[in-house]
Structure 1
């Protein structure tokens, strides 16, 4: 396993890590393109990881569909694709690290029991000495990280229950939770740069806390506006957003570039995605990204129109 190191002296390594619960939608394509550009403008690597640790919700057909969509848009990754479903031993090893540092405790609270006591988990089992086997495992969150430097937002301060709550790292059914898997994977893949939507901004202090507990240097974080159908209704697989049409790859890339701040009159009229991506790497800058939490994107017959914020 990779030892702690100073990311400032290393090659930039970004990643795109979609869950395979459905095909890519517009918001996911924006994330893929932006993370690709951010890595490549630093002459770095761009990796792809399929987050399919929850095998009940994730399907292999969607993982294949996601990869075909990336290829159709010229977003070609470096190295092999990593699948979380094949990394259970790594997650167990990271749980052992947290246990050795006395950051883990067992919890047998049901969701109903938690809801009857509070709006969120209240550390009820922290001192109950519940065995770590056959129960959910929670992280003893020190809760002393509320702010961090964001590449897009500047200094971001988050103060909500997620900052202080003790999250589940492994479910009672043995499935590794998102918080454990994403941090373990980013460490193992030497990720130095995480580009993701504003919907994950609130969990970033917790992820930094997990890095700190492991005595590992955190990656840089960059959170971009969410693509929404209307105010508060984001593009998402759960919202049955229209899947990306691979046959319209140029129109899709144009819409994504407008979304991240490049005016449509500046986008070259090439018909080749490699040329367009190369131009984007050379001409896009983080200062162009709109400073909004959400951007409305309309869709009709597979054509996306970005509304001016």
Structure 2
């Protein structure tokens, strides 16, 4: 089925790579006009050049509320309306535990990972109400937003908080025809994972394949996730096919959060260190 987002206008934050990029390209293929936002200007411009006319790039630090407001204004100026807001941008951030984490670092992670989702809801909802059109808001939480043990303390707390925003938004915004849902990816292999380990660009593809093989054991479906898996779910939740779905947090994790299993953070870290030793 093609054209599932025909004539829709979408914003996707963190859209220059990984899940955001896969979603942006899938949305364009389904007929949408897309604005991607990222702090990686070079990568964003490259994506824009590949999809001339259908996709625009806007440099944006989603941790800054005014940047998100300007992002929504840019989408309106460029394409005339807004139908979809996909709050996807994020980082792993400070990996410190309970006895080491600093308050300033924790606050910064909450501002980036959770505050950006609040800003995205706020400015998208204002525009949807001005249009009197309704709209779809989608946010990327994580398996770490559903269970402990998937990631570090700050990331886990921030991603749990996104679930609260989605449910509060469902209660407050549904009377205006505005839906809010979230996707909770499991272990998803992408270029960002390679860069977080400091893997040189020439080894990035090999690193992803290596990690994917190791992570195949982390969930019942015997393979690691890829950005396209999340993009497929995002397409459905942002389309009119999901018009009666709001307040849902959808795990896209190969069944990982449905069972008790080993610690994926440890497995990924050990595999990453092992790869770096063999590649050096």
Q: TM-score range by the shorter chain?
A: 0.3 to 0.5
Q: 1 or 2, which has the higher helix percentage?
A: 2
Higher relative contact order (CA 8 A, sep 6+): 1
Larger Rg: 1
Q: How does the TM-score come out when normalised to structure 1?
A: 0.35
